[in-house]
Amino acid sequence: MVNPASAAYVMWYRQVKRFIRTRSRLVGAILQPIFWMIFLGLGFTSALKGAPVFGGIDYLTFFTPGVVVMAVFFTAFFSGISVIWDREFGFLKEILVAPASRTATIAGRILGDVTISMLQGVIVLTIAFLMVPNLRLLGVPLVLVAVFFTALQFTGLGIALASKLKSFEGFQLVNMLIAMPIFFLSGAFYPVNALPAPASIIAYLNPLVYGVDLSRTALTGAGFLPLTSAFAALAASSLFLLVVAVWGFKKATAE
């Protein structure tokens, strides 16, 4: 039986190495949120100048923490497609029959994808400080905590879905159907507490809300939830989705 730590490390290293070799993926994942900040953030900053709903800050400053978390969210959530690639080309079968713990294997895979997601989040955050210089530098450690848990839970969710789906088309369709409502109800574009009651209730069930709010509080002080509440909700949802991912991968087949 392969040592669990060694199995986890090998899978982590493989995910990171695959990412480094596909530079177009890195460039695309970074440019997309930058475009959001330039075209949407600057536009709405001008149009909504003086609006009182953003905690006394301009729209671009309000929007930027959400863009950072968005970069992490989409990268993490769509990382599950690599499971389908592995099933398609036979590598998944080798993993499943290898004398290694499936828990250690999927843990290494998740940590590899979390590392990739966080790297992209850090790059976007660095660029954000150049575009929005009034962000709080002292809030960066808390943002890293928020993006870590965001990456962890949505990598887990993506892998759990990929473990059940058999085709690229099916995975992309299901992911988009889930990702869009999660993102638009995350509080990245507008304050969740300003939504009508039914939508607000649904938004509070969205785990991405807490990552965005924690990051916004850290960088701007304009979050609407207490730090402890946002952190507790984020940690709890991450643990739950991580368990779901491990359970789903253990039940996966290579057929």
The pLDDT assigned to 171 comes to 77
- The ranges of the chain with pLDDT < 50 are none
The pLDDT assigned to 144 comes to 94
| 137 belongs to a structural domain | yes
> How many domains does the chain contain in total?
1
| 134 belongs to a structural domain | yes
Query: How far, in Å, CA of 164 to CA of 203, rounded?
Result: 26
Query: How far, in Å, CA of 128 to CA of 65, rounded?
Result: 9
The pLDDT assigned to 132 comes to 86
| 62 belongs to a structural domain | yes
Q: Which domain holds residue 70?
A: 4-250
Query: How far, in Å, CA of 117 to CA of 153, rounded?
Result: 12
| 157 belongs to a structural domain | yes
Alpha-carbon torsion (86, 23, 109, 158), positive or negative: negative
The pLDDT assigned to 208 comes to 92
| 255 belongs to a structural domain | no
The pLDDT assigned to 193 comes to 78
The pLDDT assigned to 92 comes to 62
The pLDDT assigned to 88 comes to 67
> pLDDT of 150-208, one tens digit each?
999 999 888 888 877 777 777 778 888 888 889 888 888 888 877 777 778 888 889 99
Q: Determine what percent of the chain is predicted with pLDDT higher than 70.
A: 85
| 245 belongs to a structural domain | yes
| 153 belongs to a structural domain | yes
pTM score, two decimals? 0.87
Provide the token pair at 64.
């930027």
The pLDDT assigned to 47 comes to 64
